[in-house]
Amino acid sequence: MNERVNVTGTSQVMRPVDHPPVRAGRIGVLLMNLGTPEGTTYWPMRRYLKEFLSDRRVIETPRLLWWPILNLIILTKRPGPKGRDYASIWNNELDEGPLKTITRNQAEKVTAHLKSIAGDKITVDWAMRYGKPEVRERIQALLDQGCDRILLVPLYPQYAAATSATACDQAFRALMDMRWQPTVRVSPPYHDDPVYIESVVASMKQELAKLTFEPEVILVSFHGVPKEYLLKGDPYHCQCVKTWRLMREAFGWPEDRFRMSFQSRFGTAEWLQPYTDKTVEALAKSGVKRMAIVAPGFSADCLETLEELNGENRDIFMHNGGEEFAYLPCLNDSPEGMRVINHIVERELQGWI
């Protein structure tokens, strides 16, 4: 005997009475960002750093060399100081890092936008490559809600193996264990997308208008990677340079006033140059008294922007002769930021909605 079963999002079909439950016909969107520790004390920081620094996409040093360095030195000494850095920017009200707060807000606003154009057939969720919520867990949650098509959205404007690729790796690992895999799309990097460039520049102008001074120099800072990764074929450096060039052209400033650099280097190997901290120091020592810094490679403010740029680099500038320093926020879940994410998601869902 058969019974009529409603399959979510489709017309009713006839299935045997002993057929397992089926939920299908919906579309899922998963926003993916880097991650944040679950707390600022020693053990949450250690777990987070271990997961992050054990990723072969992030650290390509041979395991025989890297394992003792990581486990005997870094994971012993770094959790304490890094935890204090996180504590300085922590969202104490929600007891979480700002990256988690902002990414959640972005997902909620994408949900509202898609509902206005596609009704209730799309579910939007969010996940972190390191820490929680886990990518595997959120993909399963989308499947459980009947999403048999999922758009993965790595929230990195510029592609790098250590960011976009490892986020997708984590999703693909989850898919490997699934009997009924969803159909998956991955949104591409958007380093030169006109909507992205326009939104970043518009946001910068809005923030600059709030200042009591005009910067002599604006420094565009991107997260660094080892130079070796560029030489192996990673397109990240080239995409950062193109983003900077398009921003500068849209902004209308000459190169000597609109500069670029790379931050957050780690270890002793050569990384992409010029280095942000060294550039900030050199600007101050050269007589620049007023500067602003912006980080368009981050879709949301986090430790590397709030503590490193607005904290450490502000101190470097001031201690070397600078007088006025401004950090210009990331796009976050601002109207300009959501314009970018909504544009990308809506474009990549074409043919599905």
**Binding site members for Fe(2+):** 223, 304
Query: Is the link from the previous residue into 81 a cis peptide, with omega within 30 of 0?
Result: no
Q: How many CA atoms lie less than 13 Å away from 208 in the CB half-sphere?
A: 17
DSSP string computed for 101-143: HHHHHHHHHHHHHHHHHHTTSEEEEEEEEEESSBHHHHHHHHH
Q: What are the angstrom distances between the C-alpha of 159 and each of 29, 149, 223, 233, 270?
A: 19, 23, 12, 12, 20
**Which 3 state secondary structure label does DSSP give 163?**
helix
Kindly give, in sequence order, each residue whose CB lies less than 8 Å from that of residue 1, ignoring residues fewer than 6 positions away: 16, 17
Nearest to 156 by CA among 33, 14, 286: 33
Q: 15 near 5, Cβ under 8 Å?
A: yes
Instruction: State residue 102 phi and psi, 5-degree precision.
Output: -70, -40
Q: At what angle do helices 135-144 and 166-176 cross, to 10 degrees?
A: 50
For 21, the token pair is 């439950």
For 326, the token pair is 């401004």
Query: Is the link from the previous residue into 98 a cis peptide, with omega within 30 of 0?
Result: no
Please state the residue numbers annotated as binding site: 223, 304
